[in-house]
Each structure stands twice: as C-alpha cells, then as structure tokens.
Amino acid sequence: MRLGRIPYVNCLPVYGAIDRGIESVPAELITGTAAELNDLLAAGELQVSVVSAVEYARNAAAYHLLPDLAISCDGPVHSVMLFSCRPVEKLDAAAVLLTASSRTSVLLLELLCRHRWMVSPRFATVRAEAADLRALEGFPHEAVLVIGDAALHLAASGRYPHVVDLGAAWKEWTGLPFVFAVWAARRDANQATVRLVHQALVRSRDWGLAHLELLAAGAAEQTGILPATCQAYLADLDYALSYRHLAGLTDFFRRLAQDGLVPDGSLSFLSAA
C-alpha cells in the first residue's frame, strides 16, 4: 500500500503523529505536489492519497472518498492567493500566471474570473517552482496565482498592491466552505487495508489538531515563517468533511460541470466494512 502526501505545512496536522511514530500506518509514504499525486493515483502508482478535489471529480468512477478527511476552509485559506498589480475586476485580457501544482485552485480562479468578476484574463501556466518570490521576475504578468508555503511568504512581502484570498472569495460568492483537497482511494485497492490507512489518518489528524502549537513550531523551522503565523494558519483550516463541507464541494463540482470542466457525478465514499 502506497500513501501520498503533500510537503506543504497544511498537511502537517494529518501526518504529524505518523511522522513522529506516535501513529503507525500500514503504507509507504510518497511525497509529491498535488498535481504529481493526482497523476500517481490515476496511474495506480498510489493506492491512497490526498489529491486535489478536482482530481476526484474527474475520476470519481475510479475512486472512493475517505470520510471525514479533507483540507478546506470556511472563509480565508491564506495559502491560495491571487497577487495582482490591479484590481481583479480590471484583469480582462491581462496576463495571469497559474501554478502547475494545484488543479483545484486553477479552476476555482477560472470560475471566479468568468462568473464572479466577469473578466477573461490571458492565463499562462508556469512550473510549480517558478511561482515563488525568486522566479516571478522572468515571467511578465499582471497577476499570479500562488499556493502553499510560497503564498504565505509572498503575502508577507507586500509586493503586490492587490491580494485576493480565493477561499474568502468563494465564501463571499456562495456562502459555503471550500474544499481544496480530499483523501481518495482507488476502488481496485485492497479495501480492508485502505480502511486501516483511513483510521490511522483520522487518528493522526485528531492528534495533530490537539498539538497545533508543536506542529507550528516545526512548520516555522521548515518555512522560515513565524510560529504564531503558522499556528494561526493551521488553526483556520478545516480537516473534516462535514455536511457543510460536502455542500461546498458539490456546489463547486456543479459549477464546474455546468462549464463542461468535469463530468456530472455523485460522491462515493469508502464503506465502513
């Protein structure tokens, strides 16, 4: 059994107890960006992984969702940000850079531009490692979508006059939480082992949420961001998949399906037995 994880600090509450040997999981951990894990799960190189919400929507027939486990927000997310030289309502025909590492964030931005802000930017995808403080100079642009730890750094820099938190923009638009990532298992994986992995992840998540100060200290060492900032960031995220989260997720999928970006489909969860 191979289990995928993202190296960003937003995954620390789920994997912290596993990393410290407090919780054991019957799987080999594989680290990659969201886009890399999406592709590995689709190819059968992983049996369970955290993946972009959109990856589940695109391949729902091949996957089961793991219950009560996600990375989501009910308002600002702080790590999925559009940094712009002009107000978003004035980005029509403007060059907007997109990170290649998060398909969900990219499609959320496209929905907001098309249906909320009524603009049609010229999108260009850059390598994930290009969407950071050091490499943006090489790409002429009016705005850039940055995710993960790099977004936390760029937000602190004050480099762009206009900053939009996509989690907050979704909440203002729909009134619902937004689910950025879910944990999914391939339907052809050994389901009994998948259940054990799921149980370990939930126990590790519960431990992590009870030890955010400790995790924030580790996140600060990893990123160079102040521990208090890391703790506030992790505390603002949701790691459950409640009925409200599911309402936000299904609304996102509905809007994508209306635009022909994902197939229509229903959510399928890992069975209890």
pLDDT in tens, 47-88: 999 999 998 998 889 999 999 999 999 999 998 999 999 999
Shortest CA distance to 32 belongs to which of 138, 181, 163, 160?
181
CA distance 90 to 151: 22
CA distance 68 to 47: 18
**Domains of the chain by residue range:** 2-72+179-258, 80-174
Torsional sign, CA 220, 237, 8, 233: negative
Give per-residue burial for 146-159: e unless 16+ CB within 10 Å, then b. bbbbbbbbbbeeee
- Contact of 183 with 198, CB cutoff 8 Å: yes
CA 128 to chain centre: 14
CATH number of the domain located at residue range(s) 2-72+179-258 in this protein: 3.40.190.10
Angle at 100 between CA 99 and CA 104, to 5 degrees: 85
CA distance 213 to 227: 8
Residue 35 above 90 pLDDT? no
pLDDT at 243: 93
pLDDT tens digit sequence for 142-153: 999 988 888 888
Residue 90 above 70 pLDDT? yes
pLDDT at 222: 87
Q: State the chain's mean pLDDT as an integer.
A: 91
CATH number of the domain located at residue range(s) 80-174 in this protein: 3.40.190.10
Quick one: average pLDDT of 109-116?
96
pLDDT at 127: 66
pLDDT at 94: 95
Between β-strands 122-126 and 95-99, what pairing exists: parallel, antiparallel or unpaired?
parallel
